[in-house]
Amino acid sequence: MRRRPGLDEAGGRLAHHLAASQTRRSFIGTVGALLLGATAERALGGARRPTPGTERIAGGWHGFCGHYFTTGSCRGPFKLPRVDAEGKPLRPQDGRPVDDAGRLINDQGEPVDEAGNRLAGADGQYAAPGPRTRMCEDGVRRRSGHKDAVLQGSWYRCCNGQIRKLWDCCSVSPHRINGDASLRGYCHGNRKVFCVVYVETGIPC
C-alpha cells in the first residue's frame, strides 16, 4: 500500500519546486501573490458573511423577530443583541445576565456556570469578574469609535407570546453598522440608527 506523504513533506516539495523552477525575484513574487490571494480570500469570506440582524428570517423579519428594517444588530457576546433595561447583554435563549465575554454571571458580577456556581480559573482560584458594559453606549464606542452612541427610540412587536421592545442605538454617524448609509429610524435630533438591540419585556400579548 502506497503511503500518503505528510503535509510537511508535501509543503517542502512545493517550496523546492517553486524555488528551483523560478528566479529568486519571481519566486518572491509568486509567494507574495499566494499570500495576497489568501488574504483576499479571507477578506472576501468576511464580506460574504452577513452582518447579524440583516439576514431575512421567517415572517419577514431581519435577523430576529420584531426587526423589520435592515440595520444590523449591535455587536455583543452573542449573535442576537438581547439586552436588559440598562442595555447590558443577556443570554438570548434564557435572559440570564452575561459579561462582555458571554460568561454567565451572578448578582455580584462574578462568572458562574449553568448551575450558578462560581467558575474557577486555570490557577484554581475563582475567575475574576469581567466587564459588563452597555452594548450600545459602551460597545459601539469601543468597537466603532462613535462616542455619541445612545439608545433612543423604540418600537414594540409581539414575539413568542410576549411584547418585545426593539431599541435603536443612535449616533450622528452617517454610516450604520452594515457599512452603508444610516437611516433615521426612531432616533432623536440629528442622530441616526447605527445598530439595534432588543429587550424582552415579559409582558404577555
CB of 188 to other proteins, least distance (A): 11
Task: Looking at residues 96 to 135 of the shown chain, list those that interact with other proteins (rule: CB under 8 A).
Answer: 97, 105-109, 129, 131-134
Distance, CA of 177 to CA of 58 (rounded, Å): 22
CB of 109 to other proteins, least distance (A): 4
Residue 138 in contact with other proteins, rule: CB under 8 A: yes
Q: How many residues bind other proteins (CB under 8 A)?
A: 50
- Which phi and psi (to 5°) does residue 204 adopt? -70, 155
- Which of these segments, 2-10, 41-49, 120-128, 159-167, binds other proteins (CB under 8 A)? 159-167
By CB neighbour count within 10 A (0-12 exposed, 13-18 middle, 19+ buried), where does 54 fall?
A: middle
Q: Tell me, what DSSP letter sits at residue 168?
A: E
Out of 26, 39, 190, 201, point to the residue binding other proteins (CB under 8 A). 201
Residue 27 in contact with other proteins, rule: CB under 8 A: no
Residue 176 is placed in which grid cell?
450604520
Residue 74 in contact with other proteins, rule: CB under 8 A: no
Query: Are 81 and 193 spatial neighbours (Cβ–Cβ below 8 Å)?
Result: no
